[in-house]
Chain A
Amino acid sequence: MVELAPGAPGHRPPPHPEGEPLVELQSLTTGYERTPVLRGVDFTLRRGEFAGIVGPSGSGKTTLLRSIAGQTRRFEGAVEMHPRQGERELRLGYVPQVEAINWNFPLTVGQAVLLGRWREMGWRPWPRRRDQELLMHILERLGIGHLANRQIRALSGGQQQRTFLARALIGDPDLLLLDEPTSGVDIKTRHEIMHLLGELNRGGTSILMTTHDLNAVATHLPRLVCVGEGAIVADGAPEDVLTPEVLRRTYGADMLVLRRGDAIYVVEHLDEAMTGPEGAPEGATPGTSAPGG
């Protein structure tokens, strides 16, 4: 019997299909140097949404995120941003993959977080009193107030994620972009990070994140974007997107999708699941969805 992930449909923040567009990618072909990674992508994220990007390694999910962050080269198409009324630019908060961060850099948690507020800090190299107060407020809110003077390497995985989440939040972002925020952390920390993101989203922050974790993360998000071979394969609610057909087109492999109520579980290693002592779970066959129970 395959254990279903502790699905928490009630925990899902409601999607915001009627919200105003925040970011629109229009027929976007983008990549690095002379190599396009994504081709002709159309994608709209609305204010207040919480969406996840899934796909295999090298499919272009980080490129999709980075194209919104302005870190890729645009070959064709457009990226339209819709900032707040009276503001010239959309405020972005970006949390990179932990592997992309230079942990040996001589930065304390406080110094790293204040980088996210460099524009508001004025011309002085050092923070003013209100910058310090805001810093401590954000750190306390994320439960790392006691670590302000600790070097960034001397932190646990969860504390490191919170530090860079704090850097993103201190600039009061309209949109939070997170690249694999739950990668390399334990189950408890992953749960805490997802809980925190859900809270931020309920508070009005729009969130777009990549994840490779289908069961523990992706199935709990209100909206999923499947990226495969440089294109968006499917886009919608997990129950509509996570089908064997879409997963085969996205990952190029047969996967089993089990449903129980609103909970969805993707069995990524079909062979192991099928060759267990109980054989195929009742109602599930390769390449089909198991009916909800």
Chain B
Amino acid sequence: MGGLAEPFEFEFFVRGMVAATLVGVLCAAVGVYVVLRTLAYIGHGLAHSIFGGAVVSFVSGISFYIGATIWGVFTVLLINAAARRRQIGGDAAVGIITTCAFALGVALISRHGKFTRDFDAALFGEILGITSGDLYVIAGVLVLAAAVIFAWWKQLLFTTFDSDVASTYGVPVPWVEALFSLVLAATVIASLQVLGATLIAAALVIPPVTARLLTDSFTRMFALAAALGGASGLVGVYISWFVNVSSGATVVLLQGALFVMALGWAVARSRWPGTGSGERLAAIEGAQLD
């Protein structure tokens, strides 16, 4: 039994577990809006872009958080501006801007001549290298995101569902979108150290999609996604101690396993008459035949 409690003897490990749990909740909660707006690609792109910001911060000798925040906000505003042009489209705008920002980071690294441990962490995450300062930043961003989501719950939901109609009903859509973009950028920055640029997209997307398979209610989807994100962060890091695999990768693989289970459950229920999903499908079919 002592073996199972062994990781808790190390402060850095406990810190890593707390960080992974908070990041899991944060990414999943913000990810609900990302997934429902079919912007999964933006999370992926933004993480890569902010990697570029991390490199620029390092090379210019300024704090990672300050540099990455400026870089992230700039990138998000640029994506928003480019995506408004119908000839470009949101996905292409993300593709162009974020890969260029990432490429700039790579170019600076090759020019700098050294691929340091910091860059390694920014790419793949290093949960066990989390400092108390990192933990405060993560907790701060979580509180900020929770406050924005709580205070602007209805506006965010309406804008996510149908932004055109939301503006007709008086929702200040450009402000809601800008505020959400900033929360998303802050989420990616705070999560970079834990999951790395390459894995953040998974933490943003998998728990919300898993939750969507399990419920048809927005409120329940949100709560379920946050719970799945947090639980997979906590359990994933704990398992990683024993299997001796990268913590970030373990968290994401655990989320992937939960998704497969939810998918299997949803498929089985839809084929099993009389169960919840079966009734839902029958209702849909009945309604369409109405």
Contact = CB atoms under 8 A, between A and B. Distances in A.
**Do A and B truly interact?**
yes
Contact of B162 (A32, A101, A119, A121): A101
Interface residues of A, number: 37
A167 to B, nearest CB: 9
A118 B171 CA distance: 9
Interface in B225-281: 280
Contacts of B161: 102, 105, 107, 112, 115
B169 A156 contact: no
Max count, chain A CB within 10 A of own CB: residue among B153, B154, B219, B283: B154
Contact of B85 (A33, A111, A157): A33
B86 interface: yes
B157 A115 contact: yes
B273 to A, nearest CB: 16
Max count, chain A CB within 10 A of own CB: residue among B164, B168, B280, B284: B168
A171 B165 CA distance: 13
A96 B165 contact: yes
A125 B158 CA distance: 12
A119 B283 contact: no
B216 A108 contact: yes
A94 B169 contact: yes
Interface in A230-260: none
Contacts of A155: 287
A292 to B, nearest CB: 38
Interface string B189-217: 00000000000000000000000100111
A177 B283 CA distance: 30
B168 A118 contact: no
B161 to A, nearest CB: 5
A105 B208 CA distance: 12
A125 B29 CA distance: 15
A240 to B, nearest CB: 31
Interface stretch (A51-59, A146-154, A271-279): A146-154
A115 B154 contact: yes
Nearest to A156: B290
B36 interface: yes
Contact of A154 (B85, B162, B218, B287): B287
Contacts of B116: none
5 contacts: A70-B167, A105-B36, A106-B217, A115-B161, A156-B290
Interface of B: 36, 85-86, 150-151, 153-155, 157-158, 161-162, 164-171, 212, 215-221, 280, 283-284, 287-288, 290
Interface of A: 32-33, 66, 69-71, 89, 92, 94, 96, 100-102, 105-108, 111-112, 115-116, 118-119, 121, 123, 125, 150-151, 153-159, 171, 177
Closest 8 CB pairs of A and B: A125-B153, A156-B290, A151-B216, A118-B154, A69-B168, A156-B287, A154-B283, A154-B284
